[in-house]
Structure 1
Amino acid sequence: MAKQRSAATHLDPSFASDNVAGISPSILAALGQANEASAAPYGGDAVSAQLEEWAKAEFGAQAEIYPVFNGTGANVVALQAMLPRWGAAICSAGAHLNNDEGAAPERLGSIKLLPQDVPDGKLRPLDVEAELGALGFVHAAQPLAVTLTQSTEVGSLYSLEELEAVTATAHQHGMGVHIDGARLSNAAAALGVGLGEMTARAGADVVSLGGTKNGALAAEAVVVVNPARVSGLGFIRKYSMQLASKQRFISSQLLELFSTDLWHRNAEQANAQASKLAEKLRGLEGVHVPTAPSVNAVFPEVPLDMAARIQSRYLVHTWDTAPSGNPVLRLMCSWETTDDQIEALVGCAVSRRA
């Protein structure tokens, strides 16, 4: 069974996504500070300059950072800049880029995706090598980039060694490497590493750096680690409608989130709450949580009647169907998820009156 997305507006959205959380208080404060005086538009402001310095310190002296409005924009702008018109990007079949960006990659970016069927959402060197036969063949789109999702849509994580293996294979065959990092902070917190260590030092060329899911408001960025792998990104951002006139309001959020330990604290909280939720669900009769959460996503297999109770109260997606025939739900925790919210959901799952 394919994923079933609920869209009911009357249901509690607490576990529907990490996008349901609000804005971190210190980020709100940073927005207030950015609002105190006039500033040059389109990134010519002092806050954006500070953000650029942070990016160079974190990702390397050559790094460039381009704030954008949303993750779809970051991914599409990044891949457009990495690929010639005849190029294509290798991705996992389950990648957000392949399933949840509408038709943006194809319609707006003219990007051909080459999805690989991988069970855990993670590409491996063999998946990159599977597309090598197309290189130089004029009738095939050329595989010239690899895009990895960290953490993946199914909550799995690439280890540093796995990232390095894929990036090395891609580079060996002339391909650039992009990381879709909508939940990059959750991944880095789970692995106990810094953002630069998990991306630049693992071989990534371009990174979509997510902020919205971790406490920001409409604030994402494209980080170019290796400028030799992109062309015209600033122009592409403009014609893709991702260049903010009042960029300081995006830059101030990203600077507050990433130049402090806020990104780590928020991500660690979301990950910890997912572990807590999984443990409580695992104790319920008929519930199967196959593995402990790596990040802030929980995918429990639950009996049909329990799924019905939960989905009568909560906006929760059915992600898959288990071999038993029972639904697999996706439950997302955020930096704002409370113990009381977890207890309420567990109570709903077992209550016959829900």
Structure 2
Amino acid sequence: MKRTFASDNYSGVHPDIFAALQRANQGHTPSYGADEYTARATALFREHFTPDTEVFFAYNGTGANVIGLSAITRSFEAIICSDLAHINVDESTAPEKFLGCKLVTIPTEDGKIYPQDVAHRIQRVGDQHHPQARVISISQSTEYGTVYSVEEIKALAAVARQYDLYLHMDGSRLANAAVSLGKSFREFTVDAGVDVLSFGGTKNGLMFGEAVLFFHPGLAKHFPYIRKQSMQLHSKMRFIGAQFEALLSGDLWKQSAGHANAMARLLEQELRSIPGVTITRPVQANGIFATLPPAIIPALQEEIYFYVWNEKTSEIRLMCSFDTEEEDVRHFSASVRRLIGATASRI
């Protein structure tokens, strides 16, 4: 199947990850995380973050977000997030069903939320008639492909501390953000005040598997039971551990994310040179948002599939992956240029 710009979930498994799965597929090993692969992957996470980081593996991103939030909320509480947050837009009603919490959303123009907007939504503290704010949840990188700076995260963490809240980070594209910032994982997570992190693997070359990280003792006290109850405990966990071991033991995570980010910048450069195309959001990670002439979108999607983000404005989303090639970028931009030209010639 030809490569597309629809999502970094469309890509296959990185060959190095596939090789790690094959190596793990030998013989018998204890189940439910009591295996050497899980132990080594956990140790690597602690090297990248802190020695006392609590590490738990899960199947998928929605599951990682929901069970991570479940450990730090109660059903009468509220989670403050962007109106574009994955937990609000793309996880159906899983957060509401399994958490029972109210999602309090903040409209955003750049995918980010800011301290003053968060503080404004912390209302009626102690009022039994009103949901009590408990968590600030942010995405890194955001759903618009923008990246929070270390200072922006620290500012949100300060609000969380002021009001006795937790700061949760949805890191489905955390590696892309790390490359964009030129920072270690630790610098913009635990050192910046993040309490709980969903660390994404699937969008960076894994077949399946995410991790939930807790940075403070006590937060994960009941988490093993929460994970099991939520059906996110993988019996053959070595196959998640082996993938994360391959991803984190060297710089594979950085190579893959760096390549995807570089392809996004190249695609941005190509599209900016085409009359009739407007880049609508800053390109900081591996996503590009642009508006195209509406008339060319169906034909273009037939050639190289992508998603329309906003049908009213003809804004599209293009995602680059670890396996995106320059040829894909050149072909897409040439198709855009050709279709715009053909449309103009008929006017």
TM-score band, normalised by shorter chain: over 0.9
**Alpha-carbon distance, 1:230 to partner:** 4.4
Q: Give the corresponding residue for 1:144.
A: 134
Q: Determine the C-alpha separation between the residues in 1 that align with 2:251 and 2:108.
A: 34
Q: Determine the C-alpha separation between the residues in 1 that align with 2:85 and 2:3.
A: 23
**Alpha-carbon distance, 1:40 to partner:** 0.6
Alignment map for 1:229-244 (pairs within 5 Å):
229-244=219-234
What SS does the corresponding residue of 1:152 show, helix, strand or coil? coil
What SS does the corresponding residue of 1:284 show, helix, strand or coil? coil
Q: Give the corresponding residue for 2:165.
A: 175
Q: Which runs of 5+ in 1 are unaligned?
A: 1-10
Q: Which runs of 5+ in 2 are unaligned?
A: none
How many correspondences in the alignment?
Answer: 341
**Alignment equivalent of 2:72, drawn from 57, 67, 82:** 82
Alignment map for 1:294-313 (pairs within 5 Å):
294-313=284-303
Q: Determine the C-alpha separation between the residues in 2 that align with 1:140 and 1:112.
A: 10
**Alpha-carbon distance, 1:312 to partner:** 3.0
Q: Aligned-pair RMSD on alpha carbons? A: 1.7
Alignment map for 1:196-211 (pairs within 5 Å):
196-211=186-201
Does residue 186 of the first structure (1) align with residue 176 of the second (2)? yes
- Deviations 1:49-81 (Å, cap 9, x if unpaired)? 112222222221221111101000000000010
Amino acid at match of 2:217: P
Does residue 130 of the first structure (1) align with residue 120 of the second (2)? yes
- Deviations 1:165-193 (Å, cap 9, x if unpaired)? 00111112110111000000000000001
What SS does the corresponding residue of 2:169 show, helix, strand or coil? strand
Alignment map for 1:1-354 (pairs within 5 Å):
14-320=4-310, 326-352=313-339
Q: Determine the C-alpha separation between the residues in 2 that align with 1:88 and 1:139.
A: 13
**Alpha-carbon distance, 1:250 to partner:** 0.4
**Alpha-carbon distance, 1:231 to partner:** 4.5
Q: Determine the C-alpha separation between the residues in 2 that align with 1:279 and 1:212.
A: 27
- Does the CA contact (< 8 Å) of 1:177 and 1:204 recur in 2? yes
What SS does the corresponding residue of 1:74 show, helix, strand or coil? helix
Runs of 4+ in 1 over 4 A off after TM superposition: none
The TM-score normalised by the length of structure 2 is: 0.94
- Deviations 1:215-236 (Å, cap 9, x if unpaired)? 0011111011113334411111
Q: Percent identity?
A: 38
